[in-house]
Chain A
Amino acid sequence: QQQVKQSPQSLIVQKGGISIINCAYENTAFDYFPWYQQFPGKGPALLIAIRPDVSEKKEGRFTISFNKSAKQFSLHIMDSQPGDSATYFCAASPGNQFYFGTGTSLTVIP
């Protein structure tokens, strides 16, 4: 059973555009929703995270939108840059275990 569903699998965006990656979950016990960024040959690195008591969190060009009733959350990357090209994973946690989405490979073309 896949705890967290992520889409799209891959995404190509022009430099300066907005990248949007979506995730959905079923388990209402999840109370922490991080996004991780992974470059080739490296481990995932925490990018931004949100708790379900807020609907949006913004850090620089990265924004998480959270819809508790729909059990969905998304990552928006504004003004996408070639350096943002990486694989992005959403995750959800009820406490001490993390469930990851299947990843989105983002390519930002100049």
Chain B
Amino acid sequence: EPEVTQTPSHQVTQMGQEVILRCVPISNHLYFYWYRQILGQKVEFLVSFYNNEISEKSEIFDDQFSVERPDGSNFTLKIRSTKLEDSAMYFCASSPNEKLFFGSGTQLSVL
């Protein structure tokens, strides 16, 4: 069964460093998303991506964040200068319609 894959599974970084989280969505899906989940809290929407551009973004998704689809398969989330409060599990999701399929996430720890 096709699935969304995310790498790395864990990322530890120093405050102020740049990180890139990678995702390979399910191949025939058209909509891509990034969500994050701070430990024990709800899943928060960051950004949605369709037709090679951002379709919606939340207040969390400020200028420190960017997304790219550099080729036909990968979908990346870049955080330019990480802050302590960026520590969270980051989930990529893809969708053919309204059904979201999530990856297993990248646990980002900012020290």
Q: Which residues of A contact B (CB under 8 A)?
A: 32, 34, 36, 41-46, 49, 89, 93, 96-103
On chain A, the residues within 8 Å of B42 by CB distance are 89, 100-103
On chain B, the residues within 8 Å of A43 by CB distance are 4, 91, 93, 102-105
The interface-forming segment of B13-21, B43-51, B74-82 is B43-51
A44 lies within 8 A of B50 (CB)? no
Question: Knowing A99-B45, A100-B44, A102-B41 touch, does A34 contact B56 (C-beta < 8 A)?
Answer: no
Complex: A97 Cα to B60 Cα, angstroms: 14
On chain A, the residues within 8 Å of B100 by CB distance are 34, 36, 44, 46, 98
Complex: A44 Cα to B89 Cα, angstroms: 12
Interface of B is mostly: strand
B48 lies within 8 A of A96 (CB)? yes
Q: Which residues of B contact A (CB under 8 A)?
A: 4, 31, 33, 35, 41-45, 48, 50, 55-56, 91, 93, 98-105
Q: Which residue of B lies closest to A99 (CB)?
A: B45
A97 lies within 8 A of B56 (CB)? yes
On chain A, the residues within 8 Å of B104 by CB distance are 41-43
CB<8 Å pairs between A and B, sample of 5 = A43-B103, A89-B42, A93-B98, A96-B48, A98-B45
Question: Knowing A43-B104, A96-B48, A96-B56 touch, does A34 contact B99 (C-beta < 8 A)?
Answer: yes
A89 lies within 8 A of B43 (CB)? yes
On chain B, the residues within 8 Å of A102 by CB distance are 41-42
On chain B, the residues within 8 Å of A98 by CB distance are 33, 45, 100
Point out the residue from B31, B43, B44, B102 that lies within 8 Å of A96, measured CB to CB.
Answer: B31
Complex: A45 Cα to B99 Cα, angstroms: 10
B55 lies within 8 A of A96 (CB)? yes
How far in angstroms is the closest Cβ of chain B from A10? Answer: 11
A46 lies within 8 A of B101 (CB)? yes
On chain A, the residues within 8 Å of B99 by CB distance are 34, 46, 49
On chain A, the residues within 8 Å of B56 by CB distance are 96-97
How far in angstroms is the closest Cβ of chain B from A35? Answer: 12
